[in-house]
Amino acid sequence: EAQVTQNPRYLITVTGKKLTVTCSQNMNHEYMSWYRQDPGLGLRQIYYSMNVEVTDKGDVPEGYKVSRKEKRNFPLILESPSPNQTSLYFCASSPAGGPNYEQYFGPGTRLTVT
């Protein structure tokens, strides 16, 4: 089954403790992206990657890191999480950036930073 998977689905952590949220897709997509969703603010893009070893900042990259060493994986790293990073995070992928390619989303990771 074609899908985007994220792990963990739920995470509660403390301020400053480094964490990684994994994202993997099995559709051989070039493009992958991370979003966060907050009440009243909607979905905002954190980082995206157009292919292996090619990443760029989205609208809200501060406090996050990403890497794309393999085509299928795009982990999101929080080196020193803070309470304002408490949010619902989504990973997405797409075949490419063209007009007829839709984005597929993972199930989300709910992160709470205390």
- Which residues of the chain form contacts with another protein (CB under 8 A)? 31, 33, 35, 40-45, 48, 50, 58, 90, 92, 97-100, 102-108, 110
Sequence-distant (≥ 6) Cβ neighbours of residue 11 within 8 angstroms: 19, 21, 109, 110, 111, 112
Q: Which residue's CB is nearer to another protein, number 48 or number 81?
A: 48
The nearest distance, CB 18 to another protein, in angstroms, is: 25
Side chain identity, residue 78: L
Among 77, 82, 80, 79, CA closest to 109:
77
Nearer to another protein by Cβ, of 48 and 64: the residue is: 48
Strand-strand pairing, 31-38 and 54-57: unpaired
Rounded CA-CA distance 7/10 in Å is 8
Whole-number minimum distance, CB 86 to another protein, in Å? 15
Report, in Å, the least distance between residue 105 CB and another protein. Answer: 4
Choice between 77 and 96, CB closer to another protein: 96
Whole-angstrom distance, CA of residue 82 vs CA of residue 3: 30
Min dist. Cβ of residue 102 to another protein (A) = 4
